[in-house]
Structure 1
Amino acid sequence: MPNEEQVHLAAESFRLLADPTRIKILWALLQGESSVACLAELVGAAPTAVSQHLAKLRLAGLVRGRREGTFVYYSAADVHVRHLLDEALFHADHADRDLPDHPSGDLSAHATAGSRPS
């Protein structure tokens, strides 16, 4: 059983990911470092809204910022963010296409790069 702090932090991460724009932002950041303006264009949101989402994701430790002059470039915090998002999108892809569940215990069948949703 996870301890209370682990449960709280996991729940907070899921809460922050329960927003389509944040999912899009994280997916874009997993492709590489980006600025607020570029992210806004990619996800189809206003730069101020993207900035607010990034601030929350940064406070939760899901993204990092790197300042270069007057610009801040954002990236996913670590490989755990990639795994979390990969699993969520893989699950959504299965649900969307009504695919069968994996055989009991075989949760690694989707681990290859070619099976991730794009």
Structure 2
Amino acid sequence: MHEGIPDFAMPPEDQVRRAADALRMLADPTRIKILWALLQGETSVACLAELVGAAPTAVSQHLAKLRLAGLVEGRREGTFVYYTAENARVRRLLTEALGESADLPR
């Protein structure tokens, strides 16, 4: 049936899985707030917890999932870990999720 569609190709399975994981990460309001805050720049778990109104342990758990999905990265400095968002990808995801009226940081 699909033989009639010229140049039809399904994306590779690992790419589909990464996309599904990234979209699943946006299904939680706290994670959206965390990503939004990280678009402002690098910050710590304690600061993120204050910004999003959640306990630091909950924010740490969310960050672990976001890191596994490839949406955030952590940088260790002594006993602290500072997180950043993969700006271009996160910005595109949040723009789509929040709509065009969202005032995303540059």
TM-score, with normalisation over the residues of structure 2? 0.81
Q: Tell me how far 1:3 sits from its aligned partner.
A: 2.8
Relative contact order (C-alpha < 8 Å, sep 6+): which is higher?
Answer: 2
| Residue 80, structure 1, aligned to residue 89, structure 2 | yes
* 1:29 pairs with one of 38, 45, 49: 38
Q: Are the counterparts in 2 of residues 35 and 74 from structure 1 also a CA contact under 8 Å?
A: yes
Number of aligned residue pairs: 95
Q: Supply the distance in 2 between the matched residues of 1:74 and 1:7 (Cα, whole angstroms).
A: 25
* Alignment-derived partner of residue 101 in structure 1: none
* Alignment-derived partner of residue 47 in structure 1: 56
3-state SS of 2:83 partner = strand
Runs of at least 4 residues off by over 6 Å:
none
Q: Write out per-residue CA displacement over residues 28-49 of structure 1, whole angstroms, 9 at most, x where no aligned residue.
A: 0001111000000000000000
- Structure 1's unaligned 5+ residue stretches are 91-109
* Alignment-derived partner of residue 2 in structure 1: 11
- Structure 2's unaligned 5+ residue stretches are 1-9
3-state SS of 1:53 partner = helix
* Alignment-derived partner of residue 17 in structure 1: 26
The one-letter amino acid paired with 1:59 is: L
The one-letter amino acid paired with 1:15 is: R
3-state SS of 2:73 partner = strand
Identity fraction in percent: 77
The one-letter amino acid paired with 2:40 is: Q
Q: Tell me how far 1:74 sits from its aligned partner.
A: 0.3
Calculate the aligned-residue CA RMSD, in Å: 1.5
